Amino acid sequence: METTRPVPEPTLRRLPLYHRLLKVVQGKGQEHISCPSIGDQLKLDPTQVRKDLQATGVTGRPKVGFVVDELVENIEQFLGWNNTKEAFLVGAGNLGAALLGYMKFEQYGMSIAAAFDVDPAKVGRSLRGKQVMPLHKLPAMARRLRVHIGIITVPAAAAQQVADLMVEGGILAIWNFAPQRLRLPEHIIVHNEDLYGSLASLSQRLEGVLQEQARTGQGSAA
Amino acid sequence: METTRPVPEPTLRRLPLYHRLLKVVQGKGQEHISCPSIGDQLKLDPTQVRKDLQATGVTGRPKVGFVVDELVENIEQFLGWNNTKEAFLVGAGNLGAALLGYMKFEQYGMSIAAAFDVDPAKVGRSLRGKQVMPLHKLPAMARRLRVHIGIITVPAAAAQQVADLMVEGGILAIWNFAPQRLRLPEHIIVHNEDLYGSLASLSQRLEGVLQEQARTGQGSAA
DNA sequence: TAGATTGTTAATCGATTAACAATC
DNA sequence: TAGATTGTTAATCGATTAACAATC
């Protein structure tokens, strides 16, 4: 029995990028598109684009390229954007509020069903149109509503405890925005967003450029 | 002349993780720590931990490990957390407000000096204690204050235009939260945060698990 | 000393990129 | 047809992991 190799993480992350471009192209009424053309617009290697698209199951025609409508449909299908999954968000602070309100996750296959918090001042009210429930109710509600995604936007110190409650509620995938690695059962899927790591990398690279400038004496005179 | 190899991106992203753990360890009064111990607590390979730490320039002692204080100091030094860099944030919406207020970036070497927006209703007011300025003033202010970091939290459609203004202002590093790839001069450092890509990956993996469950018939009965 | 841990070199692994025949 | 593009296999590249002598 052949074990189907999982689709590479980088590919999964690029698919929404293609989707966005394709929607624009679709809006212009263009029917076909080639990998070199996509690669050119997105600054990606054409071969890489082709491999990524093939992961979704589409096939193209030499000389012509791929059918735009088909590509859009396949990506949506492949990423499960058609059957929306429900999520619970824990931590109704600034970041939590931003995720609740700003992002149009519904288009991307996820709907945040409710928010949770321990702060009595927040519980019971509604935030960006979503009810804020007391945290201790999460496990029971997650089981009852069969919610499988948990979003953590609490301070680092509280993250592990929240994650434990999510697991107790049968949640299978956790999107963790707290700067804290979680200890979880093997089968749980975790994505650590880790903004500090991202910032660290950006700032270290910048440090290098600035020192280079200082050394060669080319200041901010552009 | 030997060209010093740049530190791998994944290493840079892990350094804040070590730092956080080390601060905890430091708080407990522990003086030394070994790579196997760090790896154990962070679920990372000990050799990887050693390589990462070596990138910052520290050396350890066999059998004993590394001096905690020295590690903390070296990481902070290496990531440039000691001399704080100033940043401008553009897009005073939900996410922008969250980044302005929630995150304690100051501890991590970055301070957001001001926010910008095109919305007259937002301009002139202050948000989370920071002034919101009209966008068109960004280039001149960035040059005058020698701000080198730009944070983009505007809708995708406006992102490129904002990026162009940043470049005009001499900004060297862009932290982009808009789901839009930017066309920039070669020397500009960009980090795309791309939450949709992250979500896509999470949800596709979950899809796989759910289908597996459906196939083998083990429902949510834990 | 014995044994854990470092520093370093080699092997593995996975993703990106290059090469090229097949095809429309 | 000629030539661009696909599909696929091979080469490259970089990061992770393994192996092992040096050392405290």
Instruction: Name the least confident of A23-27, A216-220, B63-67.
Output: A216-220
Nucleotides of C under 7 A from a protein CB: 3-9, 14-19, 22-24
Instruction: Name the band, by pLDDT with cuts 50, 70 and 90, for residue A14.
Output: very high
Residue A219: pLDDT over 70 = no
Question: CB distance B200–A16 less than 8 Å?
Answer: yes
Position A3 confidence tier, pLDDT thresholds 50, 70, 90: low
| The two structure tokens encoding residue B122 | 């937002």
Q: How many CB pairs under 8 A join A and B?
A: 185
Here the tokens at position B130 are 């920071």
User: Residue A75: left if φ>0, alpha if ψ -120 to 50, beta else—which one?
Assistant: alpha
Q: Which helix (H) or strand (E) holds A28?
A: none
Strands A130-134 and A110-117: parallel
pLDDT tens for A63-106 read 999 999 999 999 999 999 988 999 999 999 999 999 998 778 99
Q: Distance between CA atoms of A144 and A140, rounded to whole angstroms?
A: 6
DSSP string, A122-191: TTTSEETTEEEEEGGGHHHHHHHHT--EEEE-S-HHHHHHHHHHHHHTT--EEEE-SSS-----TT-EEE
User: Distances in Å between the alpha carbon of A116 and those of A93, A134, B87?
Assistant: 10, 6, 32
Q: Is the pLDDT reported for residue B9 higher than 60?
A: yes
Contact A166, A135 (CB under 8 A): no
**Mean pLDDT (whole number) for A200-215:** 90
Stretch 120-139 of chain B: residues touching chain A, C-beta under 8 Å? 128
Beta-carbon separation of A209 and B189 below 8 A: yes
The pLDDT tens digits for A104-113 are 899 999 999 9
Chain A residues 82-121 with a CB less than 8 Å from chain B: 85, 93-95, 97-98, 101-103, 105, 108-110
Residue A221 has pLDDT above 50, yes or no: no
Amino acid letter, residue B39: G
Q: pLDDT category, A152, cuts 50, 70, 90? A: very high
pLDDT at residue A1, as a whole number = 45
Determine the pLDDT at residue A52: 98
pLDDT tens track for B164-175: 999 999 999 999
Is residue B57 less than 8 Å (CB to CB) from chain A?
no
State the nearest residue by CA to the C1' of D6.
A62
Q: Which two tokens stand for residue B148?
A: 């080198």
Q: What pLDDT, on a 0 to 100 scale, did the predictor assign at position B3?
A: 57
Calculate Rg over the CA atoms of chain A: 22
pTM: 0.93
Asked if residue B221 has pLDDT above 50, the reply is: no
